[in-house]
Amino acid sequence: AQSVTQLDSQVPVFEEAPVELRCNYSSSVSVYLFWYVQYPNQGLQLLLKYLSGSTLVKGINGFEAEFNKSQTSFHLRKPSVHISDTAEYFCAVSDRSYSGGSNYKLTFGKGTLLTVNP
Amino acid sequence: DTGVSQDPRHKITKRGQNVTFRCDPISEHNRLYWYRQTLGQGPEFLTYFQNEAQLEKSRLLSDRFSAERPKGSFSTLEIQRTEQGDSAMYLCASSPLAGGRETQYFGPGTRLLVL
């Protein structure tokens, strides 16, 4: 079984400030890691993903995340946020063991609402 | 590539009625997923199709719920005898069978309100 904990339900920041959204996961198997963004009344848009290789991954809209295996974390960061970044952000994991018949279903955290104020 | 589409985008129904939602995945994506998202929560997995075969169903999918994917193309999710607790956003996602299989692309969702 897998679980995802997003440590902050809400993060208010001022425009042009840096931001970090925290994500920790628990899993008995190796995982793939994802961050999705959801704007009001819309579906989920993929921001970035960690599959393998470099632990620092870059995504769209200037976001990046770092995979830390020892701390089982995948925190999302942006050095300077814009008003348009206001949205709900979801961290998710899936089982990467294809040989075990994984269907790659996603387990999500509860989300972090990022509010960027002028 | 027009992305994943879902229809309708919004549905209001009365308790006890049946509703059906449709999902059209990205063309040539063999894998299709349904998730449910309630207010203030992250999406939760409901069911998974590989082509036309339904390979996994969550325990969240009670016997009032049924999903199909005839011919391995679009999928439908039907809820019978709706209850107020069924009010949620229903999200569909798809991914390819091989290259990029781990990455799911989501549709805009269908928001259901049961009165």
Do the beta carbons of residue A48 and residue A56 sit within 8 Å?
no
Q: Are A62 and A78 in contact (CB under 8 A)?
A: yes
> What span, in angstroms and rounded, lies between the C-alpha atoms of A112 and B48?
26
- Give the span between the Cα atoms of A65 and A51, in whole angstroms: 12
From the list A36, A42, A105, the residue facing B45 with the nearest CB is A105
> What's the confidence (pLDDT) of residue A100?
53
Three-state DSSP class for B71? helix
Please give the interface size between A and B, counted as residue pairs whose CB atoms are below 8 Å apart: 62
| Closest residue, chain A, to B39 (C-alpha) | A110
- Å between B6 CA and nearest CA of chain A: 10
Q: Do B31 and A103 touch (CB under 8 A)?
A: yes
For B13-71, write each residue's pLDDT tens digit: 999 999 999 999 999 899 999 999 999 899 999 999 999 999 999 998 889 999 999 98
Instruction: Match 């027009």 to its residue by tokens.
Output: B2
Q: Give contacts of B35 with chain A, Cβ < 8 Å.
A: 106
Residue A77 has a pLDDT of 98
Q: The tokens of A59 are what? A: 């995504």
For residue B41, the tally of other CB atoms under 10 A from its CB is 15
- Nearest residue of B to residue A43 by CA position? B108
Phi-psi region of B101 (alpha: psi -120 to 50; beta: other; left: phi over 0): alpha
Residue B1 confidence class, pLDDT cut points 50, 70, 90:
low
Cα-based angle A53, B43, B3 (whole degrees, multiple of 5): 70
* pLDDT for the residue numbered B21: 98
Rg value, chain A, Cα:
14
> Which pLDDT belongs to residue B8?
97
Q: Measured between beta carbons, which residues in chain A are less than 8 angstroms from residue B111?
A: 41
Do B59 and B111 meet the contact criterion of CB atoms below 8 Å apart? no
Contact criterion met (CB < 8 Å) for A46 and B109 = no
Q: What is the pLDDT of residues B70-109, one digit of tens each?
A: 988 999 999 999 999 999 999 999 998 777 888 999 999 9
According to the model, what pLDDT value does residue A41 have?
81
Distance (Å, whole) CA B58 – CA B52: 17
Output the tens digit of pLDDT for each of chain A's 118 residues. 789 999 999 999 999 999 999 999 998 888 999 999 999 888 899 999 999 889 999 999 999 999 999 999 999 999 999 999 999 999 999 988 765 567 889 999 999 999 999 9
